Amino acid sequence: MAEYKIQTPLTAEVVKKLKIGDKVLLSGVIYGARDAAHKRILDGLAKGEKVPFDVEGSVIYYVGPSPARPGKVIGAAGPTTAYRMDAYAPKMMELGMRGMIAKGKRNDAVKDAMKKHFVAYFGATGGAGALINKCIKKAEVVAYEDLGPEALRRMEVSDFPLVVVGDCYGGDLYAEGRKQWEGKS
């Protein structure tokens, strides 16, 4: 397992270096969006509208942060469970997204799309939202403000600690962990 400091936007070359279990410190611009925002993006595309951010090389963090306290950039910003976005993720990858941040396993369609489009799935520590927000240096709503915590946000992050839980070679850290656990029983 390797350790990397990487910067957004991501390229296929960077993603190809990453393997499950690798530790990553991610810096740059990421976008926060959950299922309601993803649905609006894809519904908009079906109507001929443009995606409200530059998807090419993007990393989307599946997050619905709590309101920021006075003087803070953002409230608690822990990851949500990834499967809620599984219906939307393959299309986002087709549009150019290169990374996803969340918690939990992904379905086979998402894993297949990750291989096809060279995309990494990063795990963030669930339950650590108050600590994760310290890595978020700037946050602003860029679309769908009416969705409240689920609005589309542009966030600038510095050394956001992540683990590669899904790589572009079909590696799945959740499946590997289960195999190892079952082998010890």
Length of the chain: 185
Higher pLDDT, 114 or 71: 114
Domain span at 34 = 3-184
> 143, 52 in Cβ contact below 8 A?
yes
Alpha-carbon radius of gyration of the chain: 16
Q: Answer yes or no: 38 catalytic.
A: yes
Task: Write down the catalytic residue from 38, 40, 105, 117.
Answer: 38
What is the CATH number for 66? 3.20.130.10
pLDDT tens profile 44-63? 999 999 999 999 999 999 99
Number of structural domains the chain divides into: 1
Among 162, 132, 143, 168, which residue's Cα sits nearest to residue 49?
143
Judged against a pLDDT cut of 80, whether residue 178 lies above it is answered with no
- Whether residue 9 is preceded by a cis peptide bond, meaning omega within 30 degrees of 0, is yes
Give all strands (DSSP E) within the chain, no chain letters.
3-7, 23-32, 59-61, 99-102, 120-123, 136-143, 152-166
Taking residues 95-123, what's their average pLDDT?
A: 97
Given this model, what pLDDT does residue 131 score? 72
Lowest-pLDDT choice from 19-28, 92-101, 133-142? 133-142
| Cα-Cα-Cα-Cα dihedral sign, residues 154, 159, 164, 165 | negative
Confidence of residue 134 (pLDDT cuts 50, 70, 90): confident
From CA 144, how far away is CA 153, in angstroms rounded? 9
For residue 185, pLDDT over 60 is answered with no
User: Tokens representing 40?
Assistant: 């609006």
